[in-house]
Amino acid sequence: MKTFKINNNGVPVWIQVRRRLIYYIVSGQFSVGEQLPTVRELASQLGINYNTVNKVYQDLERDGYIVTKRGKGTFVAELDNQKFRLLDNKIELLADELVREGFEFGMTGKEIIAIVTAHVAQIKAATRRNSGSKKAEVDLREERHVGNA
C-alpha cells in the first residue's frame, strides 16, 4: 500500500484521499488491474471514517479511475488517455507558466528551482506547525511577504 497522511490544512479529508489516489493511479504508482485496499482497510490505515473512503471509491469509480468487481475487490481501471493528459497538462501548464515568468524577470533556472524548493519547505513547515488549524495559510502568506520585503 502506498502511504500518505491526511493533513489538517483546511482541505476536506475526502478530497485529500481522492487527490492522492488519483495521483497514484495517473502516475502509474498503481498499475492497471492492481487491487486497491478495501474501503475498511484504507479507512483503518488512514484513521478516518469508513463512509469517507466509500465516498471516494464511489467517485473514483464513477470517474473511471477504478472498477469494483463484486466479491473480488476494487481494481485500477484502464485509464482513458484523455484524463491522463488533462491532469498532466494542467500541472505542465502551471510549471511552464512559472518558468516563463521567472525567465521574463531575468531569473536563471537554478533560481527558479530554489524558489520552488523554498516554497515547498515553507508549506511543509507551516502545515506541521499549525496542524489542526487554518493558521498555516495565514502564516504562509505572512512568511512570503516578509521574504519579499
The predicted-structure confidence for 5-18, as pLDDT tens digits, reads as follows 787 777 789 988 99
Quote the pLDDT of residue 138.
38
Quote the pLDDT of residue 89.
58
Same-domain pairing of 65 and 19: yes
Same-domain pairing of 71 and 17: yes
User: Is 67 part of a structural domain of the chain?
Assistant: yes
Same-domain pairing of 132 and 109: yes
What pLDDT, in 10s, does the model give residues 72-126? 999 999 876 655 555 555 676 677 778 878 877 888 999 999 999 998 888 888 8
Closest-CA residue to 57 (of 31, 83, 79, 75) = 75
Quote the pLDDT of residue 140.
39
Same-domain pairing of 46 and 97: no
- Total domains in the chain come to 2
Which domain covers residue 122, as residue numbers?
90-148
Same-domain pairing of 45 and 18: yes
Boundary (domain end) residue, out of 76, 103, 119: 76
Rg of the chain on CA atoms, in Å = 19
What's the one-letter identity of residue 90? Answer: K
Boundary (domain end) residue, out of 28, 46, 76: 76
Tell me how far apart the alpha carbons of residues 20 and 139 are, in angstroms, rounded to a whole number. 25
Boundary (domain end) residue, out of 37, 54, 76: 76
User: Is 133 part of a structural domain of the chain?
Assistant: yes
Burial of 116 from C-beta contacts in 10 A (0-12 / 13-18 / 19+) = middle
User: Is 8 part of a structural domain of the chain?
Assistant: no
What pLDDT, in 10s, does the model give residues 35-58? 999 999 999 999 999 999 999 999
Same-domain pairing of 137 and 100: yes
* pTM over 0.85, yes/no: no
